[in-house]
Structure 1
Amino acid sequence: MMHYLFHRYWLVNVNRQGDTLLATSQYMDTACEMAGIMRVGVTDFRVTGARVETYRAPEGAGPAGTTELDALVGVTAYPGAGREVRRAVAHDPTGRWADLLLEGIKGLFQAEYAVFRERGFATEADFDTWFWRDFAGTCVYYSNPGQGLREFSDHIRDQVRGGCCFNRHRYCSITDSGEEYLVQAGLSDSFHEMGIALRVKTGSMEILHAGGHTLRALDTICQRGPERLAMLPGIPLTTAARKQMMDAAGGPAGCTHLADLVLEGVKTLELALSGGRKPEV
C-alpha cells in the first residue's frame, strides 16, 4: 500500500511594471510555506530589491517573517548568478531560499522574450539567432541547428501576454510502498509542459524505473528528451550522483527541464526523509 510522504509546489510569476520586472516565486511544501520576491530592471536585469517572506516555517527553523536580502541588490538576475544568490542567503535556516530565488531567476530568463527590444534586440529573429548561438548544445533542440525546427518566436506567436510575461507551476511528490518510493514531478508553464515518474528502491536509493512525457515544447524534436530517462535506472537518486543523472537526462541529446525535474526528485526525497528539515548534505 502506498502512502504519501511529502509534497512540494511552486508557482512562479513574472510581471512587468513599467521599467521593472517583478518575479514572485511562491512555494509550499508539507513542512513550510514561503515566497521569494525580486524586482529587476527591464533593460539590465539588475536586482533593485529582493526578499523572502516565510509564512509557515519548518520545525526548528525559527519564526516566520520577512527577510530583506540587500546583498542581492545590483546582482544580475540571470543564469550564472547561483554563487551570488547562495552567498546572499548563507544564513538561511531552512535550506530552501537559494532554490526559491533561483526559480525566480529562471522565470526572468524565460520572460526575456517579452522584453527583447528593451534587452537590445531589434527583431524577434535577432533574439532567436542569439539564443541559437549562446545555447548551442544545451539540449536536443539547440543541438540541431539548420534542421528546419520551429523557432521559439513561432512557438509563442499567438500568445498575448500583456503585462504578464511568464508563469510556471511545478510540483514534486513522494509516496512510499515500504519497498519503493514513487517520485513524481512535473511542470506546466507558458512555453512547456512535461512530467516524470521514478521508482526508487528504499535503502540503496537506486532508481529502478524512470519514465516521462513532454506534452508541450518548442518542436516535436523535444519529444526525444524523455527517451533519455531510460538511462537513469541503476543510478542512485542522491546528491552524490547528481552529475550521472544530469549526463543521463540532460546534455545535447536530452532536455534541461526534465533533468531539473529529476534533480528536484533528489531534493524532495531528502526533505521527505529529514521530516522537512534542512538536509545535512
Structure 2
Amino acid sequence: MYLFNRSISINVRSADKKLLTVDGFFLDSHHELCITLGVDLESNTIVSANGEFLRVPHTDCEQSHNLINNLVGINLDRNVRKQIQRAVGLNYGCTHLTDLTLECVKGLLQAKFQLMHLTMQEEEINTIVEQYLEGSCLHYKTM
C-alpha cells in the first residue's frame, strides 16, 4: 500500500525562435498545481506566468496562487533559486510552487540544449554542455 505519491511533469514547447513556453504540473496525494511560463530566449527572462491551484490541503494555500505573477521579470542567468524562492516561496509562499518552478527552469535548460541541434555542430554542442555541467554529476565530474 502506498501512503503517498508525487509526480512532476514538465513540457517545453517552442512558439518561435525567441520564445519558449514551459508547462509544469505538480500532482501528489494532497496537491494539484499547474503553471505555464513564457521565457524570452534572448534575454533569458520569464516574460509571462500563469497557473492554477486545482487542489490544496489548506484554505490559506490558495493565497499563494497570486504570487505566480511575481515570476515575471526573473532573469534565469544567475541566482535563479533565490529569485524564485523570493517570488513564490518562503514564509508567504508555497514550497511546492517553488519546486515546480525550479523544475520548469531545469526543463527549459534541457530544451535550450536541444535547440542547439538546429544551429550548431555536435562537437560545439558537446563542448558547451560539458562546460555548463562540469562538476554537476559523476559523468561530468571535474578532473
Pick the TM interval, shorter chain: 0.7 to 0.9
1:1-281 to structure 2, matched below 5 A, reads: 163-178=1-16, 179-238=18-77, 240-275=79-114, 280-281=132-133
TM-score (norm 1): 0.40
Residues in 2 aligned to 1:239 and 1:270: alpha-carbon distance in whole angstroms:
13
**Bigger RCO of structures 1 and 2 (CA < 8 A, at least 6 apart):** 1
Q: Which runs of 5+ in 1 are unaligned?
A: 1-162
Residues in 1 aligned to 2:62 and 2:76: alpha-carbon distance in whole angstroms:
24
1:214, CA displacement in angstroms? 0.9
Asked whether the 8 Å contact 1:239–1:266 carries over to 2, the reply is no
Residues in 2 aligned to 1:237 and 1:209: alpha-carbon distance in whole angstroms:
13
Q: Deviations over 1:88-133 (max 9, x none)?
A: xxxxxxxxxxxxxxxxxxxxxxxxxxxxxxxxxxxxxxxxxxxxxx
Residues in 2 aligned to 1:235 and 1:164: alpha-carbon distance in whole angstroms:
38
1:239, CA displacement in angstroms? 5.2
Secondary structure of the structure 1 residue equivalent to 2:49: strand
Residues in 2 aligned to 1:213 and 1:270: alpha-carbon distance in whole angstroms:
23
Residues in 2 aligned to 1:193 and 1:244: alpha-carbon distance in whole angstroms:
23
Call closer, same or farther: CA 1:207–1:260 in 2, change over 3 Å. same
Residues in 2 aligned to 1:246 and 1:259: alpha-carbon distance in whole angstroms:
6
Q: Deviations over 1:152-198 (max 9, x none)?
A: xxxxxxxxxxx211112210011111221111101111111111111
Give me the CA root mean square deviation: 2.0
**Matched length:** 119
Residues in 2 aligned to 1:226 and 1:237: alpha-carbon distance in whole angstroms:
21
Asked whether the 8 Å contact 1:180–1:201 carries over to 2, the reply is yes
Call closer, same or farther: CA 1:200–1:174 in 2, change over 3 Å. same
Residues in 2 aligned to 1:180 and 1:216: alpha-carbon distance in whole angstroms:
30
Residues in 1 aligned to 2:10 and 2:112: alpha-carbon distance in whole angstroms:
14
1:241, CA displacement in angstroms? 2.4
Which AA in structure 1 matches 2:71?
L
Residues in 1 aligned to 2:19 and 2:114: alpha-carbon distance in whole angstroms:
18
Secondary structure of the structure 2 residue equivalent to 1:164: coil
* Higher share of residues assigned helix: 2
Partner of 1:51: none
Secondary structure of the structure 2 residue equivalent to 1:171: strand
1:242, CA displacement in angstroms? 2.1
Q: Deviations over 1:222-242 (max 9, x none)?
A: 111121111111112345322
Call closer, same or farther: CA 1:249–1:227 in 2, change over 3 Å. same
Which AA in structure 2 matches 1:175?
R
Secondary structure of the structure 2 residue equivalent to 1:198: strand
